[in-house]
Amino acid sequence: MSNVKGKVVAITGASSGIGEAAARLLAHHGAHVVLGARRTDRLEKLASALNGEGGSAVYQSLNVAHLDQMESFIDLAVSQFGRIDVMLNNAGVMPLSPLEALKVGEWNRMIDVNIRGVLHGIAAGLPVMQKQGFGQFINIASIGAYEVSPTAAVYCATKHAVRAISEGLRQEVGSGIRVTQISPGVTDSELADSISDDTARQVMKEYRRISIPATSIAHAILYAIEQPPEVDVNEIIIRPTASSV
């Protein structure tokens, strides 16, 4: 039997794409899932579907850019289920554009969600895990954590940061707490919908032609969680087989 059964998994960005797919897969394996995102109508539907199928899900409105909301999200997990086994820092945004377009507001949004959001997840989750003596952070980075391409400078910078933060956290926390970074290549989701720049939108249309389903990433998340406590899967990169980038 999978040792995911009974684990408490908090998922940021659970309202679509990879977060939603992970919630479904983990709930089907018996995890208690705690769902956070801003679109609570979606979370409500997802939680009620999972609970209706015999799963265990609760949800709360969450903007990861605000530390107090992240703390309250972790409080929900602990008050409902008594502990937190996994913090899945998944929420992210990708409004790509060339730097010369000077979309400073979009740069800041990526920094707030993709970097601060992950740091807030650590700030809220780490004290709980340290007190428990166990836990796991799974941070969703990207192949953009390893490379840079035109229109993606800021997005890639945020994902390089997630990679650095994950590795630093792994080195610092030591025994009992596992740290996993999962880096997807092009995956079906709503991620590219927020691109406001015409050039970047066209580039992405072609770039995202070959993709894998969000469940492929959910399976990698499941794999990392279900390893025995002494095994810490640190990095996974998953691309479409046909991808040349």
User: For residues 65-124, which are near ligand NAP according to CB under 6 A?
Assistant: 65, 90-94, 113
142 binds ligand NAP (CB under 6 A): yes
Query: Is there a contact between 88 and 147 (Cβ–Cβ < 8 Å)?
Result: no
Q: Within 10 A of 242 (CB to CB), how many other CB atoms are there?
A: 9
Query: Is there a contact between 95 and 106 (Cβ–Cβ < 8 Å)?
Result: yes
Query: Is there a contact between 89 and 118 (Cβ–Cβ < 8 Å)?
Result: yes
169 phi and psi, to 5 degrees? Answer: -60, -45
155 is catalytic: yes
Separation in Å, CA 140 to CA 4, 16, 194, 238: 19, 14, 18, 11
User: For residues 113-132, which are near ligand NAP according to CB under 6 A?
Assistant: 113
Rg of the chain on CA atoms, in Å: 17
Annotated catalytic residue, options 146, 155, 207, 223: 155
Closest distance to ligand NAP from the beta carbon of 136 (Å): 17
189 binds ligand NAP (CB under 6 A): yes
Q: Which is nearer to ligand NAP, 48 or 176 (CB)?
A: 48
240 binds ligand NAP (CB under 6 A): no
Q: Which is nearer to ligand NAP, 105 or 174 (CB)?
A: 105
Q: Which is nearer to ligand NAP, 84 or 94 (CB)?
A: 94
User: For residues 6-25, which are near ligand NAP according to CB under 6 A?
Assistant: 12-19
Active site residues: 155
